[in-house]
Structure 1
Amino acid sequence: MLLLWVLLATITGGLIAVLIASWLAYKVFAKYLHHMVSLSVGVLLSVALLHLLPEAFETGVGNAHVLFGLMLASLIGFFVLEKIALLRHSHHHEGDGHHHHKGHDRHEAGRGGMLILIGSSLHNLCDGVLIAAAFLTDPLLGVLTAASIIIHEIPHKLGDFVVLINAGLRRRRAFALILFTSLCSAVGGIIGYFVLQQAQDWTPYILVVAASSFLYISVADLMPQMHERVSLSDAVPQLLLVGVGVALIYSVTTLMHHGHDHGHDHGAPHAEHGHQH
């Protein structure tokens, strides 16, 4: 029965977050896509630096040197992936005498799209494990955790949509891909339910790889797009929107931590009871 609740929370939660983010991306903010890139930078940097990395280090499972080493390896790995994609692209067009600037820009954004999907899948996998852990501790804590993850996922999914729209993906394809990454939380929930202890040992490493992908996309893919707009009238809104993205994730992360602390206070007796079974 508890597994059913975990699956319901992860699948429904993911679907709600994707639907709201899709509505915001295509209906509310469609005219302001270039501004949304700035917001996405703030969101992705904050998710990585204020949420995923602290979460990874707070588990106490991984050694700091190992986790930072993995982060370095991940960043270099993403660079290599992009370089391979670039080399394939230039090889495909060499000798035709054209520069293909527009196609190249589209291709660059497309690489960012691939990386964001990898990062989001890993992130959602960890979210699923966290939801399962919360439900196993106390069903009420499970519901609170799932609700807080939905709230936190909406701006993050909006960032995903912006990156994929930039990559030139059609609405249906972008929606399907982001929905697929969301369903990884259900996979994480199943893993968390059956092999929680082993899964928790792997969690910090998965979180670090996910954080690295968001850092790389922000710095290597989205920030260069922001620098293409050089006027002061563009720079001020860009900085403000990066700040809004940071404030948004900071607020949600703070709320989540309060929820977790409150839940753990009430959930401790349940956890002991759960471990006895």
Structure 2
Amino acid sequence: MSVLQSIIFITALAGTVSVLIAASCSLSLLSKMVENMVSVSVGILLSTALLHSLPEAFSFPGSEPRLLFATLLAGLLGFFLLEKISLLRHSHHHEGDGHDHHHGHDAEVAGRSGWMILVGDGLHNFVDGVLIAAAFMADYHVGFFTALAIIAHEIPQEIGDFMVLLNAGFTRSRALLYNLICGLAAVLGGVLAYFFLAQAHSIMPYLLVIASSSFIYIAVSDLIPQMHRRPHWVESLRQTVLIACGVGFVLLLSVLH
């Protein structure tokens, strides 16, 4: 098997295995607890962005902190504008308000956070594909263990993504399909890195920052406001504990990684 064939095979495996493992947890064990799992998703998304992706982006040799912070700002504002355009397009109406909206209109509007999380997930998987390809081009064994490490650290993020998609109104089958498609972005990253490694390496920190901005924006602008709608102190305590569980899950796998 050639190096390119190995890269395609391993990136496809890495991009789908983590999704399937996360799906087996999210769609069978956790989907009945979506309301509570929103809190876990907040912890997972924020800790993935702030404790994993952003530090990785800033650790790239030659990366410019000012440009990376500017990219983070641009990403946050960009996702704000995407959501604003979506809101304007759908106006502020809802089903049953007398404006003759079709069934499922509310789910479509709620689904905008789902589409944004998929954008961030796709970019993150693309970067993972570049990392796997770079490792494989150095040494087969290094590439293999890099893929295993990426699968391990992707699982909590994918669980968080599934919870966001289910909360946004996606069906289980659609959530699985779109996550698998995003997972295959790793193959694209791997193939492009094989042919253009220097150029791909130079844009990786900025892709990581944009992906992180989507995770941060969705957690702060969409999920946390939902949690504030249940202000009772018992519910607030449960939410805090579940956020801590999400953070702890990511930290545990980071330590093992």
Place the TM-score, normalised by the shorter chain, in its bin.
Answer: over 0.9
Counterpart residue type for residue 194 of structure 1: F
Paired residue for 1:26? 27
2:54 and 2:208 in contact (8 A); partners too? yes
**Residue 107 of structure 1, CA deviation:** 4.4
State TM-score, norm by structure 2. Answer: 0.92
- Distance in 2 separating the partners of 1:146 and 1:192: 15
2:15 and 2:185 in contact (8 A); partners too? no
- Distance in 1 separating the partners of 2:40 and 2:221: 16
Paired residue for 1:68? 69
Equivalent position SS for 2:184? helix
1:50 and 1:253 in contact (8 A); partners too? no
Task: State the Cα deviation string for residues 244-268 of structure 1 (Å, max 9, x = none).
Answer: 1111212222333xxxxxxxxxxxx
Counterpart residue type for residue 155 of structure 2: I
2:93 and 2:99 in contact (8 A); partners too? no
Task: State the Cα deviation string for residues 206-262 of structure 1 (Å, max 9, x = none).
Answer: 111001110001100111111111122211221111111111212222333xxxxxx
2:127 and 2:189 in contact (8 A); partners too? yes
Please tell me whether residue 210 in structure 1 is matched to residue 196 in structure 2.
Answer: no
Counterpart residue type for residue 155 of structure 1: P
| Higher deviation after alignment, 244-253 or 186-195 | 244-253
Structure whose alpha-carbon radius of gyration is higher: 1
Paired residue for 2:251? 250
State TM-score, norm by structure 1. Answer: 0.86
- Distance in 1 separating the partners of 2:233 and 2:245: 18
Paired residue for 2:170? 169
Equivalent position SS for 2:88? helix
Paired residue for 1:16? 17
1:6 and 1:131 in contact (8 A); partners too? yes
The 5 A counterparts of 1:1-277 are 1-90=2-91, 97=98, 106-256=107-257
Q: How many residues are treated as equivalent by the alignment? A: 254
1:70 and 1:208 in contact (8 A); partners too? yes
- Distance in 2 separating the partners of 1:163 and 1:69: 26
**Residue 67 of structure 1, CA deviation:** 0.8
1:78 and 1:115 in contact (8 A); partners too? yes
Task: State the Cα deviation string for residues 77-126 of structure 1 (Å, max 9, x = none).
Answer: 111111111111117769x64698x9786345311101001000000000
2:94 and 2:105 in contact (8 A); partners too? no
Counterpart residue type for residue 191 of structure 2: I
Paired residue for 1:272? none
**Which ranges of structure 2 fall in alignment gaps of 5 or more residues?**
none
- Distance in 2 separating the partners of 1:134 and 1:246: 28
- Distance in 2 separating the partners of 1:103 and 1:203: 38
1:67 and 1:205 in contact (8 A); partners too? yes
**Residue 193 of structure 1, CA deviation:** 1.4
- Distance in 2 separating the partners of 1:78 and 1:65: 20
Counterpart residue type for residue 153 of structure 1: E
Counterpart residue type for residue 213 of structure 1: S
CA RMSD, aligned part only? 2.1
**Residue 177 of structure 1, CA deviation:** 0.6
- Distance in 1 separating the partners of 2:109 and 2:39: 17
**Where is the helix percentage greater, Structure 1 or Structure 2?**
1
| Higher deviation after alignment, 131-140 or 111-120 | 131-140
2:31 and 2:163 in contact (8 A); partners too? no
Equivalent position SS for 1:62? coil
**Residue 75 of structure 1, CA deviation:** 0.6
- Distance in 1 separating the partners of 2:206 and 2:40: 27
1:61 and 1:204 in contact (8 A); partners too? no
Pair 1:167–1:7, CA change in 2 (3 A)? same
2:53 and 2:208 in contact (8 A); partners too? yes
**Which ranges of structure 1 fall in alignment gaps of 5 or more residues?**
257-277
